[in-house]
Amino acid sequence: MERKHVLTIAGSDSGGGAGIQADLKVFSALGTYGMSVITAVTAQNTLGVTAIQEIDSQVVQLQLDAVFSDIRVDAVKIGMVSNHGIMDVIAQSIQRYQPPHVVIDPVMIAKSGDSLLQEDSIAALQNALLPMATIITPNLPEAEVLLGCKITSILEMRQAVKELAGKMNTQVLLKGGHLDGDAVDILSTGREFSSPRIDTPHTHGTGCSLSSAIAAYLALGEPIEIAIAKAKEYVFQAICHAFPIGKGHSPIHHFYQWDQGGRKAWD
Ligand SMILES: Nc1ncnc2c1ncn2[C@@H]1O[C@H](COP(=O)(O)OP(=O)(O)O)[C@@H](O)[C@H]1O
Ligand SMILES: Cc1ncc(COP(=O)(O)O)c(N)n1
């Protein structure tokens, strides 16, 4: 079968658990070919973020042109984009090259509490970048910023996801990782994707990994609801098999299937 090519446009996490590093691991674990356009370099580990160096928007542009002018892109995942200059460059490239699927994780704050988006760029995120999406995958704090109200229950999530989809004019998967009880994600069509909540501190990079897995499954030809269901199962299994690597919130085990004799457990 022809190999599918998936591009991540995101920030680098030196600890290897989130951002570009997580995205490329997911693409490989799911049998696709991964490419990366780096928007920022973070000095980061399981405890937090100690520095952020944004990449010059012209260099982001050149990375985008290098990939799109040479290699077929079957799906794009967009993660950390910290300023509006870089957002504009990405939005223009998406418009120019028209990749078939664009999954946007509107990354704002890391699990450690560190800010990954300049405050004056939230409007640009909404106006320039999010309209390019096939689907956006905010977590609860991000959805609260985009909507300007609190979301504290599944009932409020059901209402919020519809409002967000209307406001952003795109499909929305609202992730419930930050609530208590079962981990329920709700799609703006009304479909709900639920898994038991795993009692673990090792969830660094779950959001990055979910959006990358959705992009990979879309590239592989799955319809959106199947892509989400498979991506959620992949992340669930990867959380179940997470192993501690540092003193704080460790990442999930992207290649957990290797511990199971090399078979893909989610097939
Ligand atoms: N403890 C957990 N147990 C099971 N699933 C989880 C857990 N934490 C997060 N998830 C799932 O991981 C994915 C990422 O969710 P979330 O943590 O809300 O995103 P983010 O990393 O952007 O904050 C979602 O599918 C969510 O339901
Ligand atoms: C470069 C980068 N991108 C995204 C995240 C969000 O991941 P998480 O919410 O799990 O900390 C992160 N910590 N670092």
Asked whether the predicted pLDDT for residue 263 surpasses 60, the reply is: no
Distance CA 10, CA 17 (A): 13
Place 265 in a pLDDT band, splitting at 50, 70 and 90. very low
Place 262 in a pLDDT band, splitting at 50, 70 and 90. low
Task: Give the residue-averaged pLDDT of 85-90.
Answer: 97
Distance CA 6, CA 226 (A): 18
Place 264 in a pLDDT band, splitting at 50, 70 and 90. very low
- How many angstroms separate the alpha carbon of residue 176 from the centre of ligand 1? 6
> Which residue did the predictor score with more confidence, 77 or 266?
77
Closest-approaching ligand to the CA atom of 79 = 2
Q: Look at the chain and report how many structural domains it folds into.
A: 1
Task: Give the residue-averaged pLDDT of 155-182.
Answer: 96
Whether ligand 1 lies within 6 angstroms of the CB of 71 is answered as no
Distance CA 26, CA 15 (A): 16
Asked if the structure places residue 197 within a domain, the reply is: yes
The predicted structure's pLDDT at residue 112: 85
The predicted structure's pLDDT at residue 238: 97
ipTM above 0.85, yes or no: yes
By residue range, what is the domain housing residue 97? 5-254
Place 261 in a pLDDT band, splitting at 50, 70 and 90. low
Asked whether the predicted pLDDT for residue 258 surpasses 90, the reply is: no
Asked if the structure places residue 265 within a domain, the reply is: no
Asked whether the predicted pLDDT for residue 17 surpasses 70, the reply is: yes
Q: What is the CATH number of the domain that holds 50?
A: 3.40.1190.20
Asked if the structure places residue 47 within a domain, the reply is: yes
Asked if the structure places residue 178 within a domain, the reply is: yes
Asked if the structure places residue 262 within a domain, the reply is: no
Summarised one tens digit per residue, pLDDT across range 111-146 is: 888 899 988 889 999 999 999 999 999 999 999 999
Average pLDDT in the chain: 95
Place 255 in a pLDDT band, splitting at 50, 70 and 90. very high
The predicted structure's pLDDT at residue 138: 97
Atom of ligand 2 nearest to the CA of 105: 4
Distance CA 224, CA 230 (A): 10
Distance CA 51, CA 120 (A): 19
What percent of the chain is predicted at pLDDT more than 90? Answer: 92
Asked if the structure places residue 263 within a domain, the reply is: no
Asked if the structure places residue 233 within a domain, the reply is: yes
Atom of ligand 2 nearest to the CA of 13: 1
Asked whether the predicted pLDDT for residue 5 surpasses 60, the reply is: yes
Whether ligand 2 lies within 6 angstroms of the CB of 142 is answered as no
Angle at 147 (CA atoms; ends 96, 156), nearest 5 degrees:
125
Asked whether the predicted pLDDT for residue 209 surpasses 60, the reply is: yes
Whether ligand 1 lies within 6 angstroms of the CB of 177 is answered as yes
Asked if the structure places residue 259 within a domain, the reply is: no
Distances (CA, A) of 159 to 96, 154, 186, 240: 34, 9, 10, 30
